[in-house]
């Protein structure tokens, strides 16, 4: 989980705020890369992080028999 939080911090704060000027030297889809990360890229990374976390927690639940049961 610490790794996922570190990626989240680097993408949102690092790429979106601190490293905007160096990243703006590169272009992605016609837009400066720093601007793209601040506006779109961080959202895509966040969605991927959520999917990774969901898959990871599903595996942990299965391993520890913590999944939902159909017994009522």
Domain of residue 43, residue span: 2-62
Contact in structure between 37 and 8 (CB atoms under 8 Å): no
Q: Is residue 67 part of a domain?
A: no
Q: Is residue 6 part of a domain?
A: yes
Q: Is residue 70 part of a domain?
A: no
Q: Is residue 44 part of a domain?
A: yes
pTM: 0.69
35-41 long-range contacts, CB within 8 A, separation 24+:
37/11, 41/11, 41/15
The pLDDT confidence band at residue 68, using thresholds 50, 70 and 90, is low
Interval 50-65: pLDDT, tens: 999 999 999 988 888 7
The pLDDT confidence band at residue 10, using thresholds 50, 70 and 90, is confident
Q: How many angstroms separate the CA atoms of 20 and 38, rounded?
A: 8
pLDDT given at position 33: 85
> pLDDT over 70 for what percent of the chain?
90
Q: Is residue 68 part of a domain?
A: no
Looking at the structure of the chain, the number of domains it has is 1
């Amino acid at each position: 989980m610490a790794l996922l939080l570190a990626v989240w911090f680097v993408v949102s704060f690092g790429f979106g705020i601190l490293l905007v000027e160096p990243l703006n030297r590169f272009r992605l889809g016609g837009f400066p890369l720093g601007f793209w990360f601040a506006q779109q890229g961080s959202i895509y990374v966040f969605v991927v992080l959520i999917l990774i976390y969901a898959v990871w927690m599903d595996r942990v639940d299965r391993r520890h028999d913590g999944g939902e049961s159909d017994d009522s």
